[in-house]
Amino acid sequence: MTDTLALARLEVKRLVLRVRGYLILTVALPVALYLAVGRLHGTANGVPNAGYYMVAMASLGAFTCALTSNAVRIAQERKDGWTRQLRLTALPAGSYVAAKVIASTVTVLPAIVIVLALGRLYGGVRLPGWEWPVIGAVVLLAAIGFSALAVAIGYRFMPDQAQPITMIIYFAMILLGGLLFPLSGFIATIGKVLPTYQVARIGSDVISSGTVPVSAIAVILGWLAAFTALAVLAVRSTAETR
């Protein structure tokens, strides 16, 4: 565990130094979008727009940082031989995945915290004290899954392949998850199986009724388990072929 945390600290330093501008952009994008829609009148999913889009934009920033800023970078590191050097150590595949996910999780926190603060100060969202960390924790939980997916893509594909694959998955998750606009009808039925949709659903339920739907948490945990398994398999596969 100590070695895993040491590697995670190293990954955080490398990530911040190499993609600092991109990390700033992943905060600027959801902030700009929330400033545009955070004061719109009306409701979405049964809650005021300010609350719905607060959760949606915090999720957008976190998922952008977790997935799109990591998958191609990891693929490039593998191409450059960095992962091969790490493979010379005695750490198992699970430790590599854990270190990458921990590092990615640290970098998504600013997007979540800043957008939630913006919802309170700019959007006028008023919630009981306990609901704020619950919403943040749910967004973070889903982001951890996307961090694991980034590892799976980065270890499985070369950079020129990883980029389009990542963007297709990213936009499908964002659009079908209802993070840019609420869904209805057949599209909403499709979206319900996605973790992005369930994050928005949990946020709406917490804001409207102070409840956390267990079924929504189960969907998010299911995707987290699947993405983590893919990441471990991708890392092990890379070790066996290098």
Q: What share of the chain is helix, strand, coil (3-state, %, to 5)?
A: 80, 0, 20
pLDDT at 89 over 70: no
Which whole number is the average pLDDT over 14-37?
77
Model pLDDT for residues 164-207, shown as the tens digit of each residue: 999 999 999 999 999 998 888 888 899 999 999 999 999 999 99
Over the chain, what is the mean pLDDT?
86
pLDDT at 238 over 90: no
* Residue bearing the bigger pLDDT, 107 or 219: 219
Provide the whole-model pTM: 0.88
Q: What's the pLDDT band for 35 if we cut at 50, 70, 90?
A: very high
Model pLDDT for residues 115-145, shown as the tens digit of each residue: 999 999 999 999 999 999 999 999 999 999 9
Cα 68 to Cα 199: distance, rounded to the nearest angstrom = 19
Task: Tell me the two tokens of residue 133.
Answer: 């960390």
- pLDDT value at position 23? 67
Task: Tell me the two tokens of residue 183.
Answer: 């869904």
Max mean pLDDT among 14-28, 99-113, 182-196, 211-225 falls in 211-225
Model pLDDT for residues 50-65, shown as the tens digit of each residue: 999 999 999 999 999 8
Cα 178 to Cα 57: distance, rounded to the nearest angstrom = 11
Cα 28 to Cα 41: distance, rounded to the nearest angstrom = 23
Cα 211 to Cα 199: distance, rounded to the nearest angstrom = 13
DSSP 8-state assignment for residue 181: S
Least confident of 66-75, 98-107, 149-158: 98-107
